[in-house]
């Protein structure tokens, strides 16, 4: 029987949804087979219920039912048919209760449009036979008030003479100041004998809307759409002259200004052209700027600066923005993830582990894999060099990795460049992050490079020129064991990253080539795809090497590799040169590495689907259960990886390079900050695995 946990509010605007998502995420990270349901939809006056869509962003969920709509609920209640409504809840929830070991259910929010919330939540707890987590918001409420709300809600969930169903409470939206006030809330709640499973402070960084959200809610007129995904970190009225406005020209600032303040518009455009990504300009009082000024600012607007217009005056506009609906839109994946992860980090770990231990089926979910990456990277304690040291995404990733202990990051750039980038992002450089000015490389790098490439006729002058490339300098640092790994590619091409590694580091002993893998986060598990980025048309020997490298990589990251050699035909059903290559490669792996579980040729469906495997490849040790997929050529591999990634909304991590003597990894030039963070973690883990291999 599944364990059911119903999360319900004890007061208005409690933040139940965020707590549900946090519990889903925390359990998903631990590989628990968890499901989610919100049985009852909220009143339609708040717009469409986006609970199911938001939950899919918070965790890897294969099925989330839509809640029963508010109109239907009101209809049932009007006729006193609460029990009929609960029967419909059971029917809705049954597939989840049967299919998952733990199910998180979201209760109905307290609302003036839903005065029946307490009674229906109590009925849900009885119907689902669920334990209950109560959530209360402390925002603008005293410790005594919050404690009293919890105490007043508990009796609704009584179980005869056996006590109540409350397993714990969450105090949400605690004031950040003054220090120590949170403990007053905790003492007041504990006085009622309730267990606190999370205390969550208010975090303004999690409440940053996108320009898109402000435009949509205030129905603004578009002067220049620009990049509407930019976050509004702060709102300021540009009422001063230019020297006073300069302090506001920083990353994430939204400026309110009448459209005839042309000097402010021009200053904002100049800041944009200098790399400062303002959230946007909102021109008030219906005053349109001069077309000549807009033409002057054309390049800045073309690079993404949003400019919008409202008929309202400045004061009314600022008041409307401050009082925007704080709900997270269902299409804002980044914000959902940040809120979810932040709240999840505040959950009592003993409480989460107690739920995890009730699960008998676990899996390596994408969230569990990502958590495993950061955990293993922290254990490795490695130093990773980042040649693109002043690039904004790289700086953000390095700051995160340094703060979280994922790796010690070494940025190749002048300190002034890195500090300026961090300041423009509104970030502070943490203690311990290393910045090395690459403009005057030490003579030891010149000497070592000449020694390494003297067989190619490299001179000292040529070495000086080569070391002007930060990727070459970083690779030399890796060659001299001054760092443990290198990550590049946010602005460099793949060739720029790999070529110095091959010239200076070479391949690993026993490796005939460099290849790559992607870790693909499918809904229920993580699988490995190789090679999807490097080798256009490997021969049988090379394909066997790719399979061995991919299996070893999978094992290094916690997977038990079952390798499928993919082809357009399964077993002996096909013929031709392409089939023979896969057959020969499979035989070669079995000869060289009998410890690797491998089979091929296998069609993709035979490799993944048990019912197909039974008919196409009976008796195969891999068919139907494969988790490492080796494609016969780059055309097949790259096409498949991109099709799966985009069509199935799958998270992919990689490419991770294999076969280089020391860990070097390439980024996509469109990489997100999160992609860079996980690539740094991958590189640190590779370095740790290489170290173990050398000492074993």
Please state, as a whole number, how many other Cβ atoms lie within 10 Å of the Cβ of residue 692. 11
Phi, psi at 488, each rounded to 5°? -150, 170
The per-residue pLDDT for 112 is 58
DSSP state of 44: G
Helix (H) or strand (E) holding 174: strand 166-174
The per-residue pLDDT for 304 is 93
Residue 161 pLDDT > 60: no
**Alpha carbon distances (Å) from 687 to 194, 347, 382, 692:** 47, 32, 7, 9
Q: Grade residue 408 by pLDDT with cuts at 50, 70 and 90.
A: very high
pTM reported for the whole predicted model: 0.67
Q: Which tens digit of pLDDT belongs to each residue from 505-539?
A: 998 888 889 999 999 988 778 899 989 988 899 99
Q: Which tens digit of pLDDT belongs to each residue from 30-71?
A: 888 889 999 998 765 455 677 888 888 777 777 888 899 888
Rounded distance between C-alpha atoms, residue 55 and residue 46, angstroms: 18
Q: Helix, strand or coil for residue 488?
A: strand
Q: Which tens digit of pLDDT belongs to each residue from 425-460?
A: 888 899 889 999 999 889 999 999 998 888 888 888
SS (H, E, C) 111-145: ECCECCHHHHHHHHHHHHCCEEEEEEECCCCCHHH
Residue 352: partners with Cβ closer than 8 Å, 6 or more residues away = 23, 26, 27, 30
Percent over 90 (pLDDT), the chain: 49
DSSP state of 154: G
Rounded distance between C-alpha atoms, residue 474 and residue 193, angstroms: 58
The mean pLDDT value of the chain amounts to 88
Answer yes or no: are the C-beta atoms of 500 and 488 closer than 8 Å: no
From 57, 70, 165, select the one nearest 108 (Cα to Cα).
Answer: 70
What percent of the chain is helix, strand and coil (3-state, nearest 5)? 45, 20, 35
Answer yes or no: are the C-beta atoms of 430 and 395 closer than 8 Å: no
- Residues 467-496 have a mean pLDDT of 92
Sign of CA dihedral 367, 372, 373, 378: positive
- Residues 389-405 have a mean pLDDT of 94
Rounded distance between C-alpha atoms, residue 418 and residue 414, angstroms: 7
Residue 113 pLDDT > 60: no
Q: Grade residue 1 by pLDDT with cuts at 50, 70 and 90.
A: low
Residue 157 pLDDT > 80: yes
Q: Which tens digit of pLDDT belongs to each residue from 553-575?
A: 998 888 889 999 999 988 777 67
CA dihedral 106, 111, 115, 118 (to 10 degrees): 30
Answer yes or no: are the C-beta atoms of 658 and 553 closer than 8 Å: yes
The per-residue pLDDT for 484 is 96
Rounded distance between C-alpha atoms, residue 175 and residue 204, angstroms: 11
Residue 319: partners with Cβ closer than 8 Å, 6 or more residues away = none
Rounded distance between C-alpha atoms, residue 106 and residue 19, angstroms: 9
Q: Which tens digit of pLDDT belongs to each residue from 604-644?
A: 999 999 889 988 989 899 999 999 999 999 999 999 988 88
The per-residue pLDDT for 324 is 85
- Residues 302-306 have a mean pLDDT of 93
**Alpha carbon distances (Å) from 29 to 47, 49, 329, 556, 642:** 31, 26, 23, 19, 25
Rounded distance between C-alpha atoms, residue 659 and residue 16, angstroms: 48
The per-residue pLDDT for 48 is 66
**Alpha carbon distances (Å) from 496 to 473, 477, 500, 670:** 12, 16, 7, 16
Residue 346: partners with Cβ closer than 8 Å, 6 or more residues away = 22, 198, 199, 200
Residues listed for the chain: 696
Answer yes or no: are the C-beta atoms of 40 and 127 closer than 8 Å: no
Q: Helix, strand or coil for residue 106?
A: strand
Query: Could you please report the per-residue DSSP string of 612-638?
Result: HHHHHSTT-SSTT---EEE-SSHHHHH
Residue 361 pLDDT > 80: no
Phi, psi at 595, each rounded to 5°? -75, -15
Residue 234 pLDDT > 60: yes
93: left (phi over 0), alpha (psi -120 to 50) or beta: alpha
Token pair of 546, please? 């790719």
Answer yes or no: are the C-beta atoms of 105 and 40 closer than 8 Å: no
Token pair of 662, please? 């020391």
The per-residue pLDDT for 179 is 66
The per-residue pLDDT for 129 is 87
Token pair of 9, please? 């509010």
The per-residue pLDDT for 679 is 92
Please state, as a whole number, how many other Cβ atoms lie within 10 Å of the Cβ of residue 280. 27
Q: Helix, strand or coil for residue 1?
A: coil
Rounded distance between C-alpha atoms, residue 410 and residue 478, angstroms: 11
Maximum pairwise Cα distance, the chain: 91
507, β-bridge pairs: 660
SS (H, E, C) 277-297: CCCEEEEECCCCCCHHHHHHC
Q: Grade residue 162 by pLDDT with cuts at 50, 70 and 90.
A: low
Q: Grade residue 114 by pLDDT with cuts at 50, 70 and 90.
A: low
Rounded distance between C-alpha atoms, residue 398 and residue 385, angstroms: 10
Rounded distance between C-alpha atoms, residue 684 and residue 384, angstroms: 7
Q: Grade residue 118 by pLDDT with cuts at 50, 70 and 90.
A: confident
Token pair of 623, please? 């068919």
Q: Which tens digit of pLDDT belongs to each residue from 134-154?
A: 999 998 899 999 999 999 999
Q: Grade residue 493 by pLDDT with cuts at 50, 70 and 90.
A: confident
The per-residue pLDDT for 140 is 87
Q: Grade residue 694 by pLDDT with cuts at 50, 70 and 90.
A: low
The per-residue pLDDT for 410 is 96
Rounded distance between C-alpha atoms, residue 248 and residue 675, angstroms: 30
- Residues 212-225 have a mean pLDDT of 92
From 245, 310, 236, select the one nearest 279 (Cα to Cα).
Answer: 236
Phi, psi at 129, each rounded to 5°? 50, 55
The per-residue pLDDT for 246 is 86
Answer yes or no: are the C-beta atoms of 646 and 601 closer than 8 Å: no
Sign of CA dihedral 399, 403, 404, 406: positive
From 608, 606, 615, 619, select the one nearest 570 (Cα to Cα).
Answer: 606
């Amino acid at each position: 029987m599944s364990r059911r946990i119903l999360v319900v509010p004890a007061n208005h605007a409690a933040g139940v949804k965020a707590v549900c998502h946090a519990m889903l995420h925390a359990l998903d990270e631990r590989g628990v087979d968890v499901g989610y349901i919100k049985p009852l939809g909220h009143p339609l006056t708040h717009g469409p219920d986006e609970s199911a869509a938001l939950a899919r962003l918070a965790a890897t969920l294969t099925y989330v039912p839509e809640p029963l709509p508010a109109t239907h609920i009101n209809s049932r209640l009007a006729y006193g048919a609460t029990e009929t409504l609960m029967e419909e809840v059971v029917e809705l929830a049954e597939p989840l209760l049967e299919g998952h070991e733990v199910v998180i259910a979201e209760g109905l929010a307290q609302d003036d449009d839903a005065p029946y919330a307490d009674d229906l939540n109590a009925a849900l707890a009885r119907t689902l036979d669920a334990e209950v987590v109560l959530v209360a918001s402390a925002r603008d409420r005293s410790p005594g008030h919050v404690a009293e709300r919890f105490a007043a809600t508990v009796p609704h969930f009584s179980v005869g003479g056996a006590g109540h169903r409350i397993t714990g409470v969450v105090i949400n939206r605690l004031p950040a100041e003054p220090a120590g006030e949170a403990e007053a809330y905790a003492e007041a709640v504990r006085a009622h004998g309730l267990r606190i499973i999370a205390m969550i402070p208010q975090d303004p960084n999690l409440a940053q809307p996108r320009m898109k959200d402000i435009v949509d809610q205030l129905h603004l007129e578009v002067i220049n759409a620009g990049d509407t995904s930019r976050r509004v970190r702060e709102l300021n009225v540009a009422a001063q002259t230019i020297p006073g406005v300069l302090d506001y020209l920083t990353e994430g600032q939204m400026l309110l200004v009448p459209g005839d303040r042309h000097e402010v518009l021009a200053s904002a455009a100049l800041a944009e052209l200098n790399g400062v990504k303002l959230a946007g300009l909102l021109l008030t009082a219906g005053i349109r700027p001069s077309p000549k000024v807009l033409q002057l600012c054309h390049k800045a607007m073309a690079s993404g600066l949003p400019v919008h217009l409202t008929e309202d005056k400045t004061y009314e506009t600022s008041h409307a923005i401050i009082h925007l609906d704080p709900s997270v839109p269902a299409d804002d994946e980044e914000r959902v993830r940040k809120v979810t992860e932040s709240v999840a980090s505040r959950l009592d770990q003993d409480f989460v582990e107690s739920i995890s231990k009730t699960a008998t089926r676990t899996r390596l979910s994408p969230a569990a894999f990502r958590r495993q990456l950061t955990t293993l990277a922290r254990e490795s304690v490695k130093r990773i060099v980042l040649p693109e040291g002043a690039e904004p995404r790289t700086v953000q990733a390095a700051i995160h990795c340094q703060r979280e202990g994922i790796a010690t990051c070494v940025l190749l750039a002048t300190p002034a460049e890195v500090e300026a980038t961090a300041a423009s992002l509104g970030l502070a450089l943490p203690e311990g992050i290393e910045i090395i000015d690459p403009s005057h490389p030490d003579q030891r790098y010149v000497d070592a490079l000449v020694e390494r490439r003297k067989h190619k006729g490299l001179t000292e002058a040529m070495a000086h020129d080569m070391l002007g490339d930060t990727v070459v300098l970083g690779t030399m640092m890796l060659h001299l064991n001054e760092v443990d790994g290198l990550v590049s590619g946010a602005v460099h091409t793949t060739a720029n990253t790999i070529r110095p590694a091959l010239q200076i580091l070479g391949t690993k002993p026993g490796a005939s080539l460099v290849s790559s893998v992607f870790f693909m986060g499918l809904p229920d598990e993580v699988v490995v795809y190789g090679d999807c980025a490097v080798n256009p048309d490997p021969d049988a020997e090379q394909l066997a090497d790719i399979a061995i490298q991919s299996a070893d990589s999978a094992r290094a990251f916690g997977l038990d590799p079952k390798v499928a050699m993919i082809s357009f035909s399964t077993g002996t059903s096909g013929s031709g040169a392409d089939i023979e290559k896969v057959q020969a490669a499979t035989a070669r792996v079995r000869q060289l590495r009998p410890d690797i579980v491998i089979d091929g040729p296998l069609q993709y469906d035979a490799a993944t689907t048990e019912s197909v495997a039974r008919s196409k490849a009976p008796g195969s040790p891999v068919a139907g259960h494969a988790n490492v997929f080796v494609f016969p050529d780059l055309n097949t591999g790259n096409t498949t990886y991109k099709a799966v990634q985009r069509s199935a909304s799958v998270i992919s991590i990689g490419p991770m390079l294999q076969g280089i003597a020391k860990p070097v990894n390439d980024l996509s030039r469109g990489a997100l900050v999160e992609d860079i963070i996980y690539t740094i973690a991958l590189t640190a883990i590779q370095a740790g695995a290489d170290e173990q291999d050398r000492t074993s």
